[in-house]
Amino acid sequence: MTVERTVFTRTLRQKSGLAEQRVWALLRSGRIDGHKFRRQHPIGRYVADLACDRLRLVIEIDGGVHDRDEVVTSDHLRQIELEALGWTVLRFTNTQVLSEPDSVVAAIRTHARLIAS
């Protein structure tokens, strides 16, 4: 990884939003069946909000900007590219994370178990 990309991902981690911080607190240190997740993890030309290399699972936390048409299109193309690289992408909104954290964790755990089996 280049120095510029390392600095960029470090900056993203430092500026992460509340919803992403909450999900990270629920996933870190192997809290989902021992799976190690990373924050702001580079994959191809993208940087995933959260990712587990072993499961090839990406977790994206989408704020309000992701409702805009051009961002929806960009997200869709990005997801297609990540899936072509062999990754599975799960998306949650900030609202879901902040109002239903247990449901978000349950969905991630269920999906992780499906992938792992």
User: pTM here?
Assistant: 0.80
**CA 10 from chain center: how many Å?**
15
Look at residue 1 and tell me whether its pLDDT is greater than 90: no
For 39-68, write each residue's pLDDT tens digit.
999 999 899 999 999 999 999 998 755 556
In terms of Cβ atoms closer than 10 Å to its own Cβ (0-12, 13-18, 19+), residue 101 is middle
The residue-averaged pLDDT of 20-31 equals: 91
The residue-averaged pLDDT of 61-84 equals: 80
